[in-house]
């Protein structure tokens, strides 16, 4: 999710970024002697990182000037596994470039390894290969430790990993995340691990680096959640990535709404699929974020209220395209506000359990076409036309 501040209003926003599932290929992609030597080198490097063995790690590299100190940067991250799989090797004399898949798990959080594409520069000295630099593969997102030394702050229900952040700042993120988890548990009866991993880079540019996307697309967005839709059970835990610039200007209330919204995406991931429209996934996450806060529709939906008062009541629920970050800010705010009020209406008029049942039913549909319509009929005993009409009436009553 992301938070978007407009006046006193915090609009909870979210981006769901699917993790690529990389399948291993049969056969040895680098069968020659150099390939075998480099694989041995990478195995030694991986063991040194996992064992926190600085001397063993130093024996694997001769770092180039200015190369990041990966070992020191990752030292505080609680790791359960760390391994490289060599996928390509381009050698020219005593120099070489290796491509590898880095697979790692954060202890206590990741159910399966997270995979990152890496490029390693190598040099040969005295009959041995050494790593001179390691970096993300082109067009791949960075890892947090590519941006500097990672500091870890462990909570009762969260792990916060930050770069360039003070201990006090990370503890504050931890406390907000620890409050978000039980709030989501209370609203969402589904099974989920009940833990979150929060990444806090140094800046907006750092956030964009982790996402492998231009920073301009996330300016003003307080946080996003990455994860695998559909809940295969083979993916690592989701990551909540904070934009410290946008998140930092929010008040305590806004920060809690943002991280509770994002945590909702973590909890509902297994029941969120390609059949789930954004109005439902974002509206539900906002509903959980605002649930129990006492925030009224007038307070939380100022952009949509202006539209309603100008007799510009939306004719239909928001489309997925309305949630794009690069478009008109007012349109974006209205999309989130309208989605939230649709879920709020279901909770008030049908009941909270019906809202969660509706969410599950939509996500369980095999395709987008008919998913909402079937769930409206089967769970809420209504039609799309009737639901839309009731929603438009609800907007007028709450915001008029």
Under the banding of pLDDT at 50, 70 and 90, the label for residue 206 is: very high
DSSP label at 256? Answer: H
Which range of 1-10, 25-34, 286-295 scores highest in mean pLDDT? It is 286-295
Under the banding of pLDDT at 50, 70 and 90, the label for residue 235 is: low
Contact in structure between 379 and 347 (CB atoms under 8 Å): no
33-137: CATH class: alpha beta
What pLDDT is attached to residue 113? 93
Under the banding of pLDDT at 50, 70 and 90, the label for residue 219 is: confident
Mean pLDDT, the chain, whole residue set:
91
C-alpha span between 289 and 223 (Å, rounded): 14
- Indicate the range of 234-238, 287-291, 309-313, 328-332 predicted with least confidence: 234-238
C-alpha span between 261 and 86 (Å, rounded): 38
CA 305 to chain centre: 30
Contact in structure between 377 and 361 (CB atoms under 8 Å): no
Of the candidates 101, 82, 81, 99, the residue with the CA atom closest to the CA atom of residue 90: 99
Under the banding of pLDDT at 50, 70 and 90, the label for residue 233 is: low
Is the model's pLDDT at 24 over the cut of 70? no
pLDDT in tens, 299-334: 999 999 999 999 999 999 999 999 987 667 889 999
pLDDT in tens, 326-366: 667 889 999 999 999 999 999 999 999 999 999 999 999 99
What pLDDT is attached to residue 85? 98
Burial degree of 156 (CB within 10 A; 0-12, 13-18, 19+)? exposed
What pLDDT is attached to residue 330? 86
Give start and end residues of each alpha helix (H) in the chain: 33-51, 54-58, 70-74, 167-187, 204-211, 244-248, 252-268, 278-290, 297-300, 302-309, 329-349, 352-363, 371-380, 384-399
Facing residues of 17 across strands?
226
Q: If you write DSSP's letter for every residue of 136-195 in order, what string do you get? A: EPTT-PPPGGGGS-EEEEE-SSEEEEEES--HHHHHHHHHHHHHHHHHHHHH--S-----
Q: Burial code of 40-66, b = ≥16 C-beta within 10 A, e = fewer?
A: ebbeebbebbeeeeeeebeebbbbeee
Q: Which two tokens stand for residue 379?
A: 């769970």
C-alpha span between 132 and 60 (Å, rounded): 9
Is the model's pLDDT at 174 over the cut of 80? yes
What pLDDT is attached to residue 360? 97
What pLDDT is attached to residue 230? 59
Domain with CATH 3.10.450.50 in the chain: 33-137
User: pTM score, two decimals?
Assistant: 0.89
Contact in structure between 40 and 56 (CB atoms under 8 Å): no
Is the model's pLDDT at 3 over the cut of 50? no
What pLDDT is attached to residue 229? 63
C-alpha span between 302 and 6 (Å, rounded): 9
Q: List Cβ neighbours of 27 (8 Å cut-off, separation of 6 or more).
A: none
Percent of the chain whose pLDDT exceeds 70 = 90
Contact in structure between 373 and 279 (CB atoms under 8 Å): no
Is the model's pLDDT at 22 over the cut of 80? no
CA distances to 46, 108, 153 from 84, rounded to whole Å, are: 7, 21, 26
pLDDT in tens, 98-137: 999 999 999 999 989 999 999 999 999 999 999 999 999 9
């Amino acid at each position: 999710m992301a938070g978007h501040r407009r006046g006193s209003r915090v609009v909870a926003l979210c981006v769901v970024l699917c993790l690529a599932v990389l399948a291993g290929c049969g056969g040895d992609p680098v069968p020659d002697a150099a390939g075998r030597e480099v694989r041995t080198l990478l195995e030694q490097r991986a063991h040194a990182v996992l064992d926190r063995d600085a001397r063993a790690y130093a024996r694997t590299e001769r770092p180039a000037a200015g190369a990041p100190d990966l070992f020191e940067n990752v030292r505080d991250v609680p790791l359960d596994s760390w391994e490289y799989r060599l996928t390509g090797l381009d050698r020219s004399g005593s120099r070489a470039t290796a491509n590898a898949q880095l697979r790692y798990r954060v202890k206590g959080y990741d159910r399966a390894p997270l995979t990152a594409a890496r490029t390693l520069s190598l040099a040969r000295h005295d009959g041995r290969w050494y790593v001179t630099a390691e970096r993300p593969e082109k067009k791949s997102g960075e890892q947090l430790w590519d941006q500097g030394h990672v500091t870890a702050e462990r909570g009762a229900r969260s792990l916060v990993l930050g770069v360039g952040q003070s201990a006090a700042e990370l503890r504050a993120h931890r406390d907000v995340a620890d409050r978000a988890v039980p709030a989501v548990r209370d609203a969402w009866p589904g099974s989920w691990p009940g833990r979150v991993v929060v990444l806090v880079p140094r800046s907006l540019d750092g956030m964009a680096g982790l996402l492998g996307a231009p920073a301009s697309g996330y300016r003003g967005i307080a946080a996003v959640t990455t994860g695998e839709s559909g809940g295969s059970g083979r993916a690592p835990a989701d990551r909540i990535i904070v934009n410290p610039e946008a998140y930092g200007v929010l008040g305590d209330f806004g920060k809690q709404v943002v991280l509770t919204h994002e945590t909702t995406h973590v909890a509902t991931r297994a029941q969120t699929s390609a059949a789930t429209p954004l109005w439902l996934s974002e509206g539900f996450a906002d509903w959980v974020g605002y649930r129990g806060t006492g925030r009224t529709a007038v307070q939380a939906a100022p952009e949509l209220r202006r539209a309603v008062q100008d007799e510009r009541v939306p004719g239909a629920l928001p489309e997925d395209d309305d949630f794009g970050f690069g478009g008109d800010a007012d349109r974006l705010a209205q999309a989130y506000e309208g989605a939230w009020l649709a879920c709020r209406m279901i909770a008030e008029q049908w009941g909270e359990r019906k809202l969660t049942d509706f969410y599950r039913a939509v996500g369980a549909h095999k395709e987008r076409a008919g998913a909402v319509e079937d769930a409206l009929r089967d769970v809420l005993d209504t039609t799309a036309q009737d639901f839309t009409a009731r929603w438009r009436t609800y907007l007028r009553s709450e915001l008029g």
